[in-house]
């Protein structure tokens, strides 16, 4: 499993620039090749029969939430479980009502697709009191369980690892001379965690400079990004070599400004997203236009993992502890993703489906 930023803090941080660049290149190359070999669980309990699961989605229009739900549907098609969906439609009120509605059906388990578990902890604790297993996807900032809010397990790629690899790519691409701007949303703890991790990684590079962390809320990007971009560009006198953003949306709304600079033959920064992996981002990377890289989640795999973690919970066993390794999509590997993955979703070809089926239904 790949090394996270939190563990790096315990490592030697006074190595020379050359040694650090060697480390950065190794970490980036590993992330580019990531997911080729299954490194998840290979043992576990046989599948429990006849379970009813309700997937409460933050918003099924969200590609990530939809992809995880589709992965679960695919996995459960091999079982005799029943899966039902409740859509929160992007409203915290409707999401809370959706959880209450799910509890009313008395299911064996509830899956939170992109909901903030902390916000709904009182309802989740009621589910726990009723013996309902609750598993989240992106329901808290980090992977792992939280019994205090009634969460058996939260599934996500390690955000510290995602942030570190995104920043390391900027360092490697610039040969240790990156002048970096970071975009984040101060309203979300996970966004601040990722931005701080990217900043700390850049600070480890002796020849690099962190120009600024720009706090631009996601719900204000469409309105404020053009002015924010132009102000920052003028402020740093075209010094910016790399832009790091917590997700692809920041790059989406920077495109008009980037196109304007390109028309004036102004050198453009390399843009890297520490999250998402949207179809628009893949297209930009494939066309080598306005985006250099993104870090996607293996959504279908995570849907299968949720199913496996539920089965472990039904057996009253601890979670597997697995977290998918970080994978970064760049011009070096985008061609394979475009040609092999017609869905536009990063789906590692490492045999995870077969591995889980072997655990559940051993021959």
The answer to the question of residue 62 being in a domain is yes
User: CB–CB of 62/297 below 8 Å?
Assistant: no
Q: Are residues 186 and 139 in the same domain?
A: no
Q: Are residues 218 and 110 in the same domain?
A: no
The answer to the question of residue 29 being in a domain is no
The answer to the question of residue 4 being in a domain is no
Rg (CA), the chain: 21
Residue from 157, 156, 174, 168 nearest 27 by CA: 168
Give the pLDDT of residue 218: 87
289: domain range? 159-294
Q: Are residues 193 and 142 in the same domain?
A: no
Residue 257: give its domain's CATH number: 3.40.50.2300
The answer to the question of residue 268 being in a domain is yes
Give the pLDDT of residue 158: 92
Q: How many structural domains comprise the chain?
A: 2
The answer to the question of residue 79 being in a domain is yes
Give the pLDDT of residue 165: 97
Q: Are residues 151 and 187 in the same domain?
A: no
Give the pLDDT of residue 14: 44
The answer to the question of residue 340 being in a domain is no
User: What is the C-alpha to C-alpha distance for residues 356 and 302, in angstroms, rounded to an integer?
Assistant: 12
Q: Are residues 268 and 289 in the same domain?
A: yes
The answer to the question of residue 289 being in a domain is yes
Give the pLDDT of residue 339: 63
Mean pLDDT by 10 residues, the chain (363 residues): 37 67 95 89 96 96 90 97 95 94 98 94 96 96 92 95 97 97 91 96 96 93 93 92 95 94 92 90 93 95 98 97 94 80 80 97 72
Question: Which pTM was predicted?
Answer: 0.87
User: What is the C-alpha to C-alpha distance for residues 348 and 352, in angstroms, rounded to an integer?
Assistant: 8
């Amino acid at each position: 499993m790949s090394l996270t930023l939190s563990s790096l803090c315990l490592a030697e941080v006074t190595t020379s620039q050359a040694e650090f660049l060697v480390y950065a290149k190794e970490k980036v190359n590993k992330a580019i090749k990531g997911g080729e070999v299954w490194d998840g669980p290979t043992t576990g309990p046989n599948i429990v029969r006849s379970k009813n699961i309700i997937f409460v989605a933050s918003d099924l229009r969200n590609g990530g939430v939809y992809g995880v739900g589709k992965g679960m549907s695919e996995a459960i098609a091999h079982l005799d479980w029943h899966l039902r969906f409740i859509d929160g439609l992007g409203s915290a009120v409707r999401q809370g009502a959706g959880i209450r509605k799910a509890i009313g059906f008395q299911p064996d388990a509830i899956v939170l697709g992109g909901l903030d578990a902390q916000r709904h902890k009182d309802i989740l604790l009621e589910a726990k009191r009723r013996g309902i297993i609750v598993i989240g996807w992106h329901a808290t900032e980090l992977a792992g369980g939280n019994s205090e809010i009634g969460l058996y397990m939260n599934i996500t790629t390690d955000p510290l690892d995602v942030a570190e690899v995104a920043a390391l790519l900027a360092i490697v691409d610039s040969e240790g001379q990156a002048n970096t701007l970071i975009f984040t949303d101060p309203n979300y703890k996970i966004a601040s965690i990722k931005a701080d991790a990217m900043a700390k990684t850049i600070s480890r590079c002796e020849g690099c400079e962190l120009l600024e962390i720009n706090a631009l809320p996601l719900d204000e990007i469409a309105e404020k990004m053009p002015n924010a971009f132009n102000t920052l560009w003028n402020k740093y006198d075209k010094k910016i070599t790399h832009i790091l953003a917590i997700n692809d949306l920041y790059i989406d709304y920077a495109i008009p400004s980037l196109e304007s600079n390109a028309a004036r033959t102004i050198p453009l920064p390399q843009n890297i997203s520490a999250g998402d992996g949207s179809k628009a981002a893949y297209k930009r990377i494939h066309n080598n236009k306005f985006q250099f890289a993104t870090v996607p989640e293996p959504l279908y795999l995570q849907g299968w993992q949720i199913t496996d973690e539920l089965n472990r919970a039904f057996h009253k066993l601890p979670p597997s502890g697995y977290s998918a390794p970080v994978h970064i999509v760049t011009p070096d590997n985008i061609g394979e993703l475009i040609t092999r993955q017609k869905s536009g979703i990063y789906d590692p070809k490492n045999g995870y489906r077969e591995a889980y089926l072997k655990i559940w239904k051993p021959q």
